[in-house]
Amino acid sequence: MIVCIAAVATLLLACSIDFGGSSRDSPAAVAGTTIKVVFGHVNDSLQAPVPGAGVTVTAKIDSTVHKISTTTTDNSGFYTVTFGASDWFVNDVIQVDVTYDSLSATNSTVANAGPSQTVDVQFAEVIPEFSSALMVTLSTIVLIVAVVRNFRRDPS
């Protein structure tokens, strides 16, 4: 009986030994089988798009970086990058870092097995170049309406 228990314990111990395989060999870190397209929108805190922002997309697991791609947002604040099948792994962290002037924002997600993923990024700040144009227009309209009403009430 003791020999049987020792044999089972030895078998269980042998099954748990790591024979030098990397974590990339495990099912949780399977290499992508297709390209991976990462895309999204970059907005400021008022949901205004941020055109011309620098975007860096990194596929990594812990401190191991598999691929870094950079691009710039278009006029609607949209960006897209493509990773080759060998550039990313399922369960990688897809981190999107965005910079505009001295401002920066980040968002991330875990890579799924699908061929594409969306990662939107929102700045915490209002970016005046984009959001203030609407506010200036609205303020100007309100000011004109107030002046016209004031002239109609006060004929002097």
Q: What is the pLDDT of residues 111-143, one digit of tens each?
A: 999 999 999 999 998 877 665 555 556 667 766
Structure tokens at 138: 């609205």
Q: Which residue has the higher pLDDT, 103 or 19?
A: 103
What the block records as the tokens of 83 is 């990773």
Question: What value does the mean pLDDT take over residues 60-71?
Answer: 93
DSSP 26: S
- Residue 127, CA distances (Å) to 17, 22, 134 in order: 54, 45, 12
Instruction: Please give the share of the chain, as a percent, with pLDDT higher than 70.
Output: 66
Supply the mean pLDDT for the chain.
Answer: 79
Q: What is the pLDDT of residue 7?
A: 42
CATH architecture entry for 24-125: Sandwich (2.60)
- Strands 36-43 and 116-118: what pairing? parallel
Side-chain half-sphere CA neighbours of 30 within 13 A: 8
- pLDDT value, residue 23: 42
Helices (H) and strands (E) in the chain, counts: 2, 8
d(CA 156, CA 153): 9
Per-residue pLDDT of 46-59, as tens digits, reads: 999 999 999 999 99
- Which residue, among 108, 62, 112, 60, has the nearest Cα to 87 in the 3D structure? 60
**Amino acid at residue number 94:** I
- pLDDT range class, residue 24, cuts 50, 70, 90: very low
pLDDT of residue 117: 97
- Among positive and negative, which fits the CA dihedral 41, 44, 49, 51? negative
pTM of structure:
0.65
